[in-house]
Structure 1
Amino acid sequence: MGIDPGLTRCGVGVVEGRPGAPGTMVAVDVVRTDPEAGLADRLLALDEGLRALIDAHRPEAVAVERVFSQHNVASVIGTAQASGIALLAAARSGLPSATYTPSEVKNAVCGNGTADKRQVTTMITRILRLTEPPKPADAADALAIAVCHLWRGGVQARIAQAAAKERIR
């Protein structure tokens, strides 16, 4: 499951597959919160929405876009809060989680860490063999995060496992 964290719109994409092969989209959704509601209520609604999707789809892992510095400080704070809720929802469900920077996701799906949103949407539509681009952009981004983890997460886990075995020796 890939999550594109946002306080107003939080994209969620579920894919299945294996590294090196195109995945299959299982589900795509956007958890929305009311911008007029208080912060605590919005965070609670986000948590409830994400946990419901985790319960419904039973992913093996959760990947979340890592918060990065933006010019709009208020926006990055909301994104960071949503990211924390996403990671907490994964932990409460006993799922492993990983985070990826936007450039890591773009590089994984487009081969270019500076790709724009249109390029990411086009590539994720092709990779998952969708008949039309997922909308809104938060949904396409969430699917891209899921594909990034599908392709890179397994490799990273094997490297970490090998490193741990080496330390034991």
Structure 2
Amino acid sequence: MPATGISKPMFTDFRLLKHPYAWLALGFGSGLSPNAPGTVGSLAAVLLWWLLLADLSLPLQLAVIVAGFGLGILASEWLIARTGVKDPGYIVWDEFIGQWLALLLLPKSLTAAALAFAAFRLFDIVKRGPVGWADRRFSGGFGVMFDDVVAGLMALALVQAVWRFTGLA
């Protein structure tokens, strides 16, 4: 529960799950978690990266991220229009895109995945600086997606610096 004492709305209209946009926006169901859906969505994103993206070339990973961003805007707009909730916590596809950005250029290792996960969650939750600006400045499907892109890019920069300067393996 947020510090204000007002809980975030939960996803309740399961009839919407008949549409692929709902499944995408909800991170294939990870956004339905009653506790910390953003963190659960980020963990699901790391798992999908490990299974499907980590072994792809950089251009293919970037193509997936760019396409996923565009689809995420559409899916978020669709779900926002049907639920009436401006930026619901159950939309977690934005976590997938931000998390995949944080994982770019890293080797397929548990250390790398854990570092990228922690960095992305930090920037996404704290929402300071550019992430907070993006969160306040943009709305709708683009707004839902864009602040996580900024958090992902910041995490990417941090993780790359740590990875390259410490020699973690």
Give the TM-score of the pair, scaled to structure 2.
0.32
* Structure ranking higher on relative contact order (CA contacts 8 Å, 6+ apart): 1
Give 1 or 2: higher strand fraction. Answer: 1
